[in-house]
Amino acid sequence: MEHCVPPNANQLINPAPPAEEDLIRMKIAIQGEFGSFSHEAALGLVEDALIVPCSVSADVFNALVDGSVDAAVIPIENSLAGSVLEHFDLLLQHDVKVVRESLLRIRHNLIAISGTTVEEIDRVFSHPVALAQCRRFLADHPKMESYAFYDTAGSVKQLMELRDRHAAAIASEGAARYYGAGILRSGIEDNPENYTRFFLVRRALDAASDPKANKISIAFSVENRPGTLVAALNQLSTMGTNLTKIESRPVHGRPWEYVFYVDCQLHSTEEGSETLDALKPFCAMVKELGRYREAADATDQGTDSGEK
């Protein structure tokens, strides 16, 4: 993959052949740098995975589909910033399935070169979502001018490469550890009730059925005529299906037509198939995006939101 780098490629000039144990470890693609929030989420979902960072989300899915990696971990929704809409589109476009989900507590930190003081900082870099979630801290430090960057961990990586004592980054504790930076202030986010939902995604052929699955994600479209969406939703209501989320996305090239993405709780994995069958008579298209166990509790790992 042109925009995906192999595990630890940024640290090894002459990489040795993979060890035998590496050949059986799951390779997981993420969007973002080593030490990013998605990196932490991936290790939380699959312990001891080999992480393959990619520049953009499309490359994550391309690496998964062409077999370069075994799975992908993507942020799908943040409790404050909302859904990562691009990822809904990519899930629909590719022959993949969601197999697990996790919830992660967000904790943003002001990170700089070790030994730097807060008073020295006049520039702060991070992903736009992270900057937006730390507005109060930045307003309390008017000397600090904020700059959007493509990745939270990437901003820490840049900081350490430039060795600029007047610059800082906003990222996770894990990013500071990975790049050997120091944390000047921890927990600088405006709202502590901030969580991210991540999906573990596999190729459809490799997605094993989970007998304890109690949640399903579905994409469907309806014909552009009065009452079709209401009829589809009424069918779910008649079945007693608990709809926990609905999101609409425009159909590319077909103005004013939409794909609807829904999450439903299941009492049994068989109920998922019944839900799909119930929607089909009312829909022009129905696709199951995944059937998996609902994440019960958020893990506080200092991780991020929709930013990568």
204-220 pLDDT, tens per residue? 999 988 889 999 999 99
241 is catalytic: no
- Residue 72 · residue 28 · CB < 8 Å: yes
Q: Among residues 187, 149, 184, 153, which one has the least CA distance to residue 166?
A: 184
- Residue 220 · residue 259 · CB < 8 Å: yes
Structure tokens at 164: 């600029």
Q: How far is CA 91 from CA 57, 60, 74, 87, 165, in A?
A: 11, 11, 10, 6, 41
The Cα–Cα gap between 300 and 302 comes to 6
At 9-20, the pLDDT tens digits run 343 233 344 454
| Per annotation, catalytic residue among 152, 196, 275, 303 | 196
- Would you state the pLDDT for residue 5? 66
Question: DSSP readout, 240-305?
Answer: T-EEEEEEEEEPTTSTT-EEEEEEEE-SSHHHHHHHHHHHGGG-SEEEEEEEEPPP-SEEEEEE-S
238 is catalytic: no
- Would you state the pLDDT for residue 303? 40
- Would you state the pLDDT for residue 6? 58
Predicted confidence band at 104 (pLDDT cuts at 50, 70, 90)? confident
Report the pLDDT averaged over residues 111-118: 95
Output the average pLDDT for the chain.
Answer: 88
At 117-159, the pLDDT tens digits run 999 999 999 999 999 999 999 999 999 999 999 899 999 999 9
With a CB cutoff of 8 Å and minimum separation 6, the contacts of 287 are 92, 218, 219, 220
With a CB cutoff of 8 Å and minimum separation 6, the contacts of 151 are 31, 32, 33, 36, 127, 307, 308
CB atoms within 10 A of CB 202: 21
pLDDT at 4 over 60: yes
Predicted confidence band at 302 (pLDDT cuts at 50, 70, 90)? very low
With a CB cutoff of 8 Å and minimum separation 6, the contacts of 122 are 143, 144, 145, 166, 167
SS3 128: helix
| Per annotation, catalytic residue among 88, 125, 137, 198 | 198
- Would you state the pLDDT for residue 239? 85
Structure tokens at 43: 């290790």
- Residue 220 · residue 285 · CB < 8 Å: yes
Structure tokens at 109: 């930190």
Share of the chain above pLDDT 90, in %: 66
Lowest mean pLDDT among 79-93, 130-144, 245-259: 245-259
pLDDT at 225 over 50: yes
| Whole-prediction pTM | 0.86
